Structures are given as structure tokens and as C-alpha cells.
Structure 1
Amino acid sequence: MLKQHLQQKLLQKLSPQQIQFIKLLQVPTVALDTRIKEELEENPALEDPSLMTLEEPKGEYDDVSDNKEEFEGESTDDGFDEFNVDDYLQDDSANDYSTSYNNSDDDDEKKETPIAIESTFFESLQEQLDLIPLSDKDFVVGKQIIGSLDDDGYLRRPITSMIDDLAFSQNVIVEEEDVLEMLRLIQSFDPPGIGARDLQECLLIQLRRKDQSNRVIQQAIKIVENNLEEFIRKHYDKLERSLGLSSEELKEAVAEILRLNPKPGDANQVTTKQMQIIPDFHINNNDGVLILTLNSKNAPELRVSRSYQEMFEHYDKASQKDRKLKEAVQFVKQKLDSAKWFIDAIKQRQQTLLKTMNAIMQYQYEYFLTGDERKMRPMILKDIADKIDMDISTVSRVANSKYVQTEFGTFLLKSFFSEAIQTDSGEEVSNKEVKKILEDCIGNEDKRKPLADEKLTDILKDRGYNIARRTVAKYREQMNIPVARLRKEL
């Protein structure tokens, strides 16, 4: 049985303009320029004056008024929507947001970094193989070995697997000794250590290519051959006893091993281009007064196309409207609306960025004056959201993808947020302060007897920071500092 009934629901929906603003807000400055160019390509009603020539090209519909007679004789649908042209006709100079920022930023200079053209270590090995007189079978085996190397230069494929590949794909029948003989040849190639099957073999190949009459090299070879596990775990006391070495002799041998390359394949690799970081904000210290500025790339001089405005104006002034132009005018109206929405979203983005960053700067004023992390106050997203009367999600979108340039470095806004830790005196301090103290303690420790987490915990407690050992371990791991045993040096 079918029934009908009325029901009221309270739903939260985002308008297209809100969605567009949210997407623009989380875009970093380095990607904003690309996003604006995409919008300029998709919407002909949007213009960037900085990209235009002094003489603007004549619009496609600039002569609509001259050809008005062609469509005055026909009438349109009675239900055709009327448009208010005043909403779109505005003075370009009224976009005050475009003049409130300095657009002569140093970042505008186009700088191209030359990229060195280097061959990969696979190509280098192949070139070395080509220079050696070999039989056709040995050449095929050598090429197979080179092609089986990993990116770090190791051969991790079993010899038997390569023999099977040569038999099935190349129709070359070889014995295991034939492959091992070619492998030894390739291990003599540069860079040293290439073609090793594990770390131990890689280090030994490099050491054996040095002067083996040197006593330090001899001791280093013994350590790698017989005591690699103790060396990796930094059990130096065991090494001294098992090898009968003094502390100074062991120190020289260890230093020789540490100079070796554990990943020889990376030596000739072209380094990948790192993502360029363009700061969204600049904070300058002017005699104790902090001045916040927004990167000029966040304030493009966008405007609505004048030709599209005039096209819409000419149509509105026509006494009778042509039915055939209905779709064209609706298209123009849609593009004009889209251009206005995008400009408003860019303007709102600028205001939100400045408002949020200014609140962060005021909250962490002492830190931005000195750069001393011990003066950083505990701050969470809610603190800034309450201060600027915005949602926490908005502050999160700004903090997760924006950078600020200060006199002591460029930082992600997210790094200024930290949890509070209460001292014995009842004062709340940032965990950044605790991390800084840990970093200083570890940096000044005796590397022959590094401080364990328990000792670090005691030091913090003596200074009034009553935190658990597991918290100290967590902070140490967050700073990528290894445990005490692995920090030990001779």
C-alpha cells in the first residue's frame, strides 16, 4: 500500500562557491599559479591583465550593436530570463584586493636551474662491458647480469634464475660457474661494490680494491669478514677483545669502513628534482615589531573580461531579443558568474590566509622575535579557530599546506602547533620546548657513553619536566634520533 507523507530534515550542504573556496584554500602557493592558469583556459570571461598585451584584441561580439537589425525582427520566448547587467558591469579598478599587495616579489623572477645530463649506472656498466673483448655467450651473460641489478647496484636474483632466463629467453645454455665468472668481472667495474649480493660482499669488494698492505685496511677487512654483526650493532668492546685492537686502532678501522658506499648504484644516479617550496607568508622583524606580508603570488590581478561585459550589455539593450541567441547569452552569463565566483574565492582566500597567519604570529610573538623554540607556546588548532572565529577545519587546511619565511628559516605552519606539558611549578609549556632540551642534551653528550632514555628522563625531571620514559622515547623517534647504543662513537 502506497502512502505519502511530509517530512522535514535539517541537512548541511555546501554551495558550489563554498566548495571552490575550500579547494582553493588548501592549495599551496606553488600550485596556485597552475590552478589559476587552468581557470583562465577554461573560462574566457576571466582575464589576467599581467598576461595581456597593451592592445587588447577585438572581441568576437564587439560589433553586435552594428548587426542589431539582423535579429530585431524576431521575438523570443515570453519566459526568457531577464538579466541585470549592472551586476557584471564594474570598474576594473574597483578590485581593491589586487592593489593591496606588492606584486613585485622576488619570486616572480623566472630562474631556470640547469640539469646535468648524466648516464645511469646501468648505462655506465654497459659501456664498460662493451670495451672488454668477450665471446658472444659471455657478452650475453654479462648483459643479463647488468639488467638484473637493483637500483642500488645489488644483484639479488639467484644465479639459477638467471641461468633459466638465459636458456628460455636467449637460448643460451650456461653453467653456474660461467655466470659467477662474469659476475666477478662486473664486480671489478666502477663504481666499486657494484654487483654485490649482500652488504658484506659490497663492503669487501670496495676494501679489496684499496691498498691491502695498509694495516688499517687489513683490520677493516677482518671486521667486515668476521665481525660485521658486532660492527652494525656498535659493540665496539667485543670487537676490541676479539681482534686484539686498541681503541685508537679500532677507531681508524671503523672510520675506513664508514667511508665506503653501502649503495654503489646511487653514485651515478641523477638526483630527482625536489619540490620547490614557495613561502606563502613573510615575517620581518623591524626593530622588535613583526611585520606580516602575503606572498604576491597569492594576489593575482584577475578581472572579468571587458569584451564579455560589452557583449552582454549590447544584448540587454536590444529592443527585441533573438531566440537564436538565447543559448549563447546563457553561456555568457554562466561564464561571467563563474569568473565572479572565482575572483571572490581568490579574494576570500587571501583574507583567510592573512587572518589565520596573523593570529598565529600574535600567539607565538616571542618565538617569531627570537627563533628560540623554547619560547614557543603550546598551541592547538582550536586556539587559533577561536581567536579568528572560524572553524577548526579551516585552520587545519591553512596549517597543513602553507609555509612562512622568517629570518631564521622557512617553516610549515603545522610545525607551530604543539601540545601542552605541565611542569612541576604548574606552568604549561610546549612539547617543542622539551624536544629542544632533548636535542641539546643528546648533542652535547659524550658519544663514547651516550645518554640512555632513562638518563634523559632524569635530566628532564631535574629541570621540572615530569614526563615518562616512553614519552621521551616517542619524542626522540619523532626527531629521528636513534637509541643510545646506535649513537655510540669511538
Structure 2
Amino acid sequence: MLKQNLQQKLLQKLSPQQIQFIKLLQVPTVSLDTRIKEELEENPALEDLSLTNLNEPEEQYPDRDPDEDTFNSEEERGEMDEFNIDDYLQEDNVNEYGSRYDQNGDDEEDRKEIPFAVQSSFFELLQSQLDMLPMPDKDFKIASQIIGSLDDDGYLRRPIMSLTDDLAFSQNVMAEDEEVEEMLKLIQSFDPPGVGARTLQECLLIQLRRKDQSDPIVIKAILVVEHYLDEFTRKHYDKLEKSLGLTSTDLRAIVNEILKLNPKPGDSNEVNTKQMQVIPDFHIKNSDGVLILTLNSRNAPELRVSRSYQEMFQHYDKASQKDKKLKEAVHFVKQKLDSAKWFIDAIKQRQQTLLKTMNAIMHYQYDFFLTGDDKNLRPMILKDIADKIGMDISTVSRVANSKYVQTEYGTFLLKSFFSEAIQTESGEEVSNKEVKKILEEHIGKEDKRHPLADEKLTDILKEAGYNIARRTVAKYREQMNIPVARLRKEL
């Protein structure tokens, strides 16, 4: 049964301009050029002055025959009059981007593309080795199927039975499991050593068995991997010494031999065609104790509304008579002009927001930027900066999560300056970054034969006046990617 209801709702919707600004705000400097190029390709009414020859003579438009243009109605004339041509004929002030943008030569170097060496991929390397071997067509198809079934790390995780089925259904090759096993052993003899293994244990054994078998250390390393891999990974060295009758010196040599092996042979040969390039969005310089903040000049592209589109709009507006086609053309030109102005405004708003946010962060963490000492970092959360600049927390988050600042002490992600507060015994609030630094120092100088457990680290911090729980110490240790004490043990 159908019913009709009348409801009143209060909704908040973002305008297209706001959405465009939000998307631009979270784009880092390294990706901004690509985003601008996309907009330039989509909108012919937008120009980049760095790519435009300003000395070119202005294009002249021939006079149109007034008899070709006719008004279909007064309504159309009224709609044409709504367009204020003055909005589009303002001179572009390129200098309004200001002098707070870093204009040094480093940014020009950043604009140059980085050359990358052309190398074969992991799978191409294996296939080229297979192509060099004389073999029957059936064996070649089986081996090619195995290579195509390997994971990126070089492991074969599909059962032999599944490979046999794939060969039958996709290539009409009827193969026995034994034949597939034989071709797998062949591929396991390829470079890089360890490729084609089905488990970590098999991967390590393949690599060890290709070493000098007359070396007693290699023989004992094979014995450890083959029968005591679990004890080895858990670093139960006392059990290994007792079970194999080894001295500490021999066990240390065996452990070092195993640690030289590659647990992921495929990853070491995979070439990343595009490396992550970090280009700082901000630069902070110390001038006799005074910090000077500049924004990377790549954040201030020289954009303007196309003069040819402005003149085209002016020409259309002066036409005494306009038909329907001309009206559609004017609508198209106006749409592109609006879009160009919105994009330029969004870029300028992005610059202002970046500078405003980074300036607040710089003053909040002034002591750190002067000294570079992590212990001078103050507790700071997103709300602290949002309140200072009068913006939403989500805006600060978008800036902090993807932007970098270059200082005399290195290049940092803005997100790294935010931290929670921890209260000391004296009642003073300090950043958890300070606690992490102390943990890192104590773990770095610990006796690796007897590494410090989380309980001991908690006691050390309490003695230093940081009253925190053991689970908090464990959380900070995990955030710093430091393993538990048992896995930090060394001989």
C-alpha cells in the first residue's frame, strides 16, 4: 500500500568549489603538478603562464555578420545580460602569490624527471632463463605455467594438483603431478636462489644447498633449518646449543650464515618503476634565532584565465543579435571561465591554508625547530592547531597527513609533530615523543644477550619520573617497530 509523507530535513551539502578545495588541500606538492596538468587539459580557459609565450601577438577575431545572429526571444537576451563581462576581463596579478614562497634553485631541480634504469622484471628474468634451456614443448608449457603461478615474493603457494588442472583446462596439456614436480625442481635451480619454494624452510634450504657443501658451517646451518627452524625463529639459542652440542662461537657463525639468506627472493628482483619522491611543502630556516617559514614555490603555479577566452566572451557579448547556437557557445565559454576562476581561487586558498597551518605548528613547536631535539617537542593535538587558526580539525588533518617540512635537522612529515601528553610525577605535561626517545635510547644500548623486557623498561621510565603502565610501554615500542625482548636477543 502506497503512502505519501511530508518530511522536513536540514541537510548540509558542500558546494562544488568547497569539494574542489578539499581535494586540492590534501594533494602533496609532489602530486600538485599532475593535478594542475589534468585541469589544464580539461579546461582550455585555464592557462599556465610558465608554459605560455607572453610575447605572442593577441589573436584577432574577425567581425561577424550581424545578419547571421538573431534573437529568438527577449528571454534569451535577458539571460545573456546576466553575464557580467567585467568579472572575466580583470588583469591577472601574478605577483599576488607573494614573496613567502621559496624561490631558490632547488625547486627547479625538483621539477626535472628522475631517470630510472630499465631492468627486467622478476618474471621476465625467470622466463629468459627458461627460454635458454632445450626441452620438449610439453615441459616448456608446464614450466611456463609454474612461473606464471608464482607470487611476487617468489613463492609458489598453489598446490601441484591445481597447476595440473590449470594445464589441462587452459592449455590442453595433460600432465601428471610428478611431471609438474620435476619442472618445479628445475625452476628452483634458477636465479635468484630460493625462487619457487613453497615454504620459508624450503626457500632457505634451496639457498643453503647451493653453497659450498664442504663448509662445516653450511652443513650445520642446513641441519638447523631442516630440524630446528622453530627454535631458531624464536631465538631459543640455549636449546640449539644443547641439542646440537655447539659452542656459542659456532652457533653465532651458523646464525650469521642463515641471516645472510633472502627469505623473499622475488622482492629483491622486482623493479619499482616509480619510486616515492618526497618534496618538502615548506622550508624553515633559522636566521640568528628567528625562524623564517616559506612555502615551496611549486605550490604557487602561475595560473590565469585565458585571455583568448576572455576576448571571445567579450566579442560574443558585443554581438547585436544572437541565435540559439551562439547562446549555447556563450554558455560553454562562461562555464569554462567559471571553472578556471574556481580552480585558481582554490589554489590560492590552498596556499593560504597551508601557510596558516604550518605557521601555527612552527610557533607551537618553536623550541624544536630551533634545536632539532625531540625532547623539546610539546604535546600537541589537531584541536590545538585548529583552535589557533580558527579552522576545522579535519582541515588540519588533511594538511598534516600529507605534507612535509624541510628544516636544518631533516625533512619531517607534519603528522610527526602531533603527540599525546603524558604527565610526569612533578605534574608537568610532556610529549609521548620524549618517552619514545628515552625508550629508543635504552633499547639501543641494552645488552643484546639479555635485552630489556617491557617490565624493566617500565621501571626505568618510572625512575626517570614517567609514571606509565607496562601496556603503554608495549604500545610505544610497537609504534616504533621494535620487537619484543625475546626477538631482540643476539649472540
Summarize the Cα distance change of 1:105–1:172 in structure 2 as closer, same or farther, 3 Å threshold. same
Q: Deviations over 1:376-407 (max 9, x none)?
A: 00011111111112222221221122111122
Query: 1 CA distance for matches of 2:8 and 2:169?
Result: 72
Instruction: Identify the residue that residue 408 of structure 1 maps to in structure 2.
Output: 409
Give the deviation of 1:193 after TM superposition: 2.0
Q: TM-score, normalised by structure 2?
A: 0.89
Count of equivalent residues: 484
Summarize the Cα distance change of 1:136–1:41 in structure 2 as closer, same or farther, 3 Å threshold. closer
Instruction: Identify the residue that residue 46 of structure 1 maps to in structure 2.
Output: 46
Determine if the alignment matches structure 1 residue 77 to structure 2 residue 74.
yes
Query: 2 CA distance for matches of 1:108 and 1:226?
Result: 58
> What is the identity, as a one-letter code, of the residue corresponding to 2:61?
D
Q: Deviations over 1:420-454 (max 9, x none)?
A: 11110000011111111111111111111111000
> What is the identity, as a one-letter code, of the residue corresponding to 2:74?
D
Give the deviation of 1:179 after TM superposition: 3.8
Determine if the alignment matches structure 1 residue 150 to structure 2 residue 151.
yes
Q: Deviations over 1:202-236 (max 9, x none)?
A: 21222122222222112212211221110010000
Query: 2 CA distance for matches of 1:31 and 1:483?
Result: 38
Give the deviation of 1:351 after TM superposition: 1.0
Q: TM-score, normalised by structure 1?
A: 0.90
> What is the identity, as a one-letter code, of the residue corresponding to 1:42?
E
Match for 2:61 among 57, 63, 66? 63
User: Quick check: 1:105–1:295 contact (8 Å CA) kept in 2?
Assistant: no
User: Quick check: 1:154–1:194 contact (8 Å CA) kept in 2?
Assistant: yes
User: Quick check: 2:116–2:273 contact (8 Å CA) kept in 1?
Assistant: no
User: Quick check: 1:103–1:297 contact (8 Å CA) kept in 2?
Assistant: no
CA RMSD of aligned residues (A): 2.8
Instruction: Identify the residue that residue 214 of structure 1 maps to in structure 2.
Output: 215
Query: 2 CA distance for matches of 1:105 and 1:475?
Result: 40
Instruction: Identify the residue that residue 237 of structure 2 maps to in structure 1.
Output: 236
User: Quick check: 1:186–1:194 contact (8 Å CA) kept in 2?
Assistant: yes
Give the deviation of 1:44 after TM superposition: 2.5
Gaps in structure 1 of 5+ consecutive residues: none
1:378-393 alignment to 2 at 5 Å? 378-393=379-394
Instruction: Identify the residue that residue 19 of structure 1 maps to in structure 2.
Output: 19
User: Quick check: 2:421–2:430 contact (8 Å CA) kept in 1?
Assistant: yes
SS of 1:361's equivalent in the other structure is: helix
Instruction: Identify the residue that residue 127 of structure 1 maps to in structure 2.
Output: 128
Query: 2 CA distance for matches of 1:163 and 1:314?
Result: 73
Query: 2 CA distance for matches of 1:415 and 1:408?
Result: 14
Summarize the Cα distance change of 1:189–1:4 in structure 2 as closer, same or farther, 3 Å threshold. closer
1:402-441 alignment to 2 at 5 Å? 402-441=403-442
User: Quick check: 2:379–2:430 contact (8 Å CA) kept in 1?
Assistant: yes
SS of 2:269's equivalent in the other structure is: coil
SS of 2:117's equivalent in the other structure is: coil
User: Quick check: 2:66–2:321 contact (8 Å CA) kept in 1?
Assistant: no
User: Quick check: 2:305–2:340 contact (8 Å CA) kept in 1?
Assistant: yes
> What is the identity, as a one-letter code, of the residue corresponding to 1:343?
I
> What is the identity, as a one-letter code, of the residue corresponding to 1:268?
N
User: Quick check: 1:46–1:303 contact (8 Å CA) kept in 2?
Assistant: yes
Gaps in structure 2 of 5+ consecutive residues: none
Instruction: Identify the residue that residue 111 of structure 1 maps to in structure 2.
Output: 112
Q: Deviations over 1:42-82 (max 9, x none)?
A: 333222211112443654xx436x33644688686156142
Give the deviation of 1:359 after TM superposition: 0.4
SS of 1:264's equivalent in the other structure is: coil
Query: 2 CA distance for matches of 1:308 and 1:132?
Result: 64
User: Quick check: 1:303–1:343 contact (8 Å CA) kept in 2?
Assistant: yes
Give the deviation of 1:89 after TM superposition: 2.5
Summarize the Cα distance change of 1:337–1:256 in structure 2 as closer, same or farther, 3 Å threshold. same
Name the % identity: 75
Give the deviation of 1:366 after TM superposition: 0.7
Instruction: Identify the residue that residue 295 of structure 2 maps to in structure 1.
Output: 294
Instruction: Compare 463-472 and 112-121 and name the one that shifted more.
Output: 112-121
Q: Deviations over 1:302-361 (max 9, x none)?
A: 12222233333344455x443443333333333333322222222111111111100000
Query: 2 CA distance for matches of 1:308 and 1:155?
Result: 59
SS of 2:430's equivalent in the other structure is: strand
Instruction: Identify the residue that residue 248 of structure 1 maps to in structure 2.
Output: 249
Instruction: Identify the residue that residue 284 of structure 1 maps to in structure 2.
Output: 285
1:327-346 alignment to 2 at 5 Å? 327-346=328-347
Query: 2 CA distance for matches of 1:154 and 1:142?
Result: 14
> What is the identity, as a one-letter code, of the residue corresponding to 1:63?
Y
Q: Deviations over 1:156-204 (max 9, x none)?
A: 3333443444455555555544444443333333222223232222212
Summarize the Cα distance change of 1:89–1:172 in structure 2 as closer, same or farther, 3 Å threshold. closer
Summarize the Cα distance change of 1:48–1:99 in structure 2 as closer, same or farther, 3 Å threshold. farther
Query: 2 CA distance for matches of 1:243 and 1:51?
Result: 72
Determine if the alignment matches structure 1 residue 377 to structure 2 residue 407.
no
User: Quick check: 1:403–1:411 contact (8 Å CA) kept in 2?
Assistant: yes
Instruction: Identify the residue that residue 28 of structure 1 maps to in structure 2.
Output: 28
